[in-house]
Amino acid sequence: MTITIICNDLVGDSRIWFFFRATEYSTSTPITDIRTIPEDQRMNLYYSKSPGPDQTKYWWPLHNSYDPYDGDIGTGHAFNQHSWTRVPTIRAFSKANKMVHQKPSETPPQESFSFHICGEKFNDLNRNGIRDEGEPGINGIEIILLGADGKTPAEEYYQGMFTYPAPETNPLYSGENELQGSYCFNLENVTSNRGVDNKGTYIFYIKETLSEGWIATTPTIIGPITLVASEDGPRELLHNDFGNSLPSQIGGTLIPINDMNTGSLTSFTLIALIASATIVIICIIIEKRRFLT
């Protein structure tokens, strides 16, 4: 499936959500004959046996189909697998989302092209280095596009070889395109007879500025990113994501194990004993109160 979106000749980015439309039909019993389902509700169904010893095949709604406008529930609805029970949801998108880039016309032959280098800054709640469903984007974080040396801002390294569309600058800040956590460097007029090899090859790095109090769960610099100003490209690289997480909120003072001496260890042990004694005292008081009542 190909979708073409034209944004009045502007350069920019949009995020579009795709989903399989969920049926409104609901039943308490499995269905073997599809004709029992109203014809206008026979969308995104599949024919399969349920788990277990029963080998009978039934008609089921696609469990990751989604209806975002369900007046009966008040939110959207989806389905559990092998179930006709509707489940309220506001985020069960079967195809998640797609970043769409509006680029200038690039009809060959020509001497310049456009590049797009995009990604997201996200709160990595489970610290696995992957943006999972439900993990929010983080706005306002500085993202810098660097040249092939990984140190110099790209527009200085490749001086005069491309431009940024106004009002875009380098660095950017996540959320700059009004999409939570998202950022996108749009490079225009990238010359095809320059670059690191004078044949239109460009190498970039992307670097994030880590905010105070956060820890990185992914590398803070991404690259090398190689793009080619030619009809064959590649001319874009998406999903350059930076994950961050807040450290666990644990009371007390953190003492690195390498810095601990006998005095530190004694103090730490004493604190632990006091904490244990406090817990015992509280338990005794509670027991007495329960006995008296």
Question: For the residues of 113-161, what is the DSSP string, one character each?
Answer: EEEEEEEEEEE-TT-SSS--TTPPB--S-EEEEE-TTSSSBHHHHTTTS
Decide which of 210 and 267 is more confident: 210
pLDDT tens, position by position, 156-200: 999 999 999 888 899 999 988 778 888 999 999 999 989 999 999
Distances (CA, A) of 267 to 60, 127, 149, 253: 63, 32, 49, 12
Residue 140's nearest CA partner among 244, 239, 242, 211 is: 211
Residues 29 and 164 both lie in one domain: no
Of 188, 203, 176, 202, nearest in space to 120 by CA? 176
Contacts of 100 (CB under 8 A, 6+ apart): 5, 13, 14, 15, 16
In the predicted model, is pLDDT for residue 271 greater than 60? no
Range of the domain at 103: 99-245
Which residue reads 């500085």 in tokens?
Answer: 142
Whether residues 110 and 228 share a domain: the answer is: yes
85 and 104, same domain (yes or no): no
- Is 58 among the domain residues? yes
Residue 250 lies in a domain: no
Decide if 122 is inside a domain: yes
Q: Are residues 239 and 128 in the same domain?
A: yes
Question: Is a pLDDT exceeding 70 seen at residue 237?
Answer: yes
For residue 12, being part of any structural domain is answered with no
pLDDT beyond 90 at 93: no
| Co-location of 112 and 80 in the same domain | no
Residue 284 confidence (pLDDT): 33
- Give the model's confidence band at 122: pLDDT under 50 very low, under 70 low, under 90 confident, else very high: very high
| Structural domain total, the chain | 3
Query: How many Cβ atoms from other residues are within 10 Å of residue 202's Cβ?
Result: 25
Q: Span 13-19, mean pLDDT?
A: 70
Q: Is residue 1 part of a domain?
A: no
Any domain includes 131: yes
Least confident stretch, 92-96, 103-107, 217-221 = 92-96
| 264/241 same-domain check | no
Q: Which tokens go with 84?
A: 């006709």
CB contact at 8 A, 158 and 202: yes
User: Per the domain annotation, does 94 fall within a domain?
Assistant: no
DSSP 258: G
Same-domain check for residues 80 and 148: no
Does the pTM exceed 0.75?
A: no
Do 148 and 236 sit in the same domain of this protein?
A: yes
The reply to whether 275 and 239 lie within a common domain is no
**Pair (123, 203) in one structural domain:** yes
Helix (H) or strand (E) holding 280: helix 262-292
CATH number of the domain where residue 215 is located: 2.60.40.10
Question: What is the longest distance spanned by two Cα atoms in the chain?
Answer: 93
DSSP β-bridge partners for residue 173: 142
4, part of any domain: no
Q: Closest Cα to residue 64, out of 141, 133, 15, 143?
A: 133
Residue 124 shares a structural domain with residue 228: yes
Residue 230 vs residues 10, 107, 185, 201, 269: alpha-carbon distances, Å? 21, 11, 18, 9, 67
Q: What is the pLDDT of residue 252?
A: 43
